[in-house]
């Protein structure tokens, strides 16, 4: 599994470890990825994602995974999230038609 966040796009970066004697050796900086299960209200189920901690805060700001995906254009999303967004949009349309038919 890639060490990349599907929301922020943060990935492994490379730098140098510099010793006290100023010797330089290559090292890697890994993103702070966390396995999270996020509840989608429109789908009525939990979705499992590996996200950075900054992405988790971003989702809180947008009101959850549903709010974030509905407000974000497809070109800025990971292909995995584009598929999830399509499911959420489909569930939202179904919910709206059920509400409209029950009112009228």
User: What is the residue extent of each domain of the chain?
Assistant: 32-96
Distance between CA atoms of residues 21 and 44, nearest Å: 57
pLDDT for res 74: 94
pLDDT for res 100: 84
**What are residue 38's DSSP bridge partners?**
47
Distance between CA atoms of residues 12 and 79, nearest Å: 19
Distance between CA atoms of residues 103 and 55, nearest Å: 38
pLDDT for res 101: 84
Q: What is the mean pLDDT of residues 9-16?
A: 96
Res 104 pLDDT > 70: no
Res 45 pLDDT > 70: yes
pLDDT for res 26: 98
What value, to the nearest 5°, has the Cα angle with vertex 34 and ends 45 and 5? 90
**What are residue 45's DSSP bridge partners?**
40
Share of residues in the chain with pLDDT > 90 (%): 88
């Amino acid at each position: 599994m890639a060490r990349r966040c599907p929301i922020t796009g943060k990935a492994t970066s490379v730098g140098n470890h510099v010793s006290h004697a100023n010797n330089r050796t290559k090292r890697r900086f890994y993103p702070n990825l966390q396995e999270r299960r996020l509840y989608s209200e429109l789908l009525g189920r939990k979705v499992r994602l590996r996200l950075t901690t900054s992405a988790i805060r971003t989702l809180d700001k947008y009101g959850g995974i549903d709010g974030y995906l509905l407000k974000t254009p497809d070109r800025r999303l990971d292909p995995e999230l584009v598929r999830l967004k399509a499911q959420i949009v489909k569930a939202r349309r179904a919910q709206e038609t059920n509400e409209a038919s029950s009112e009228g």
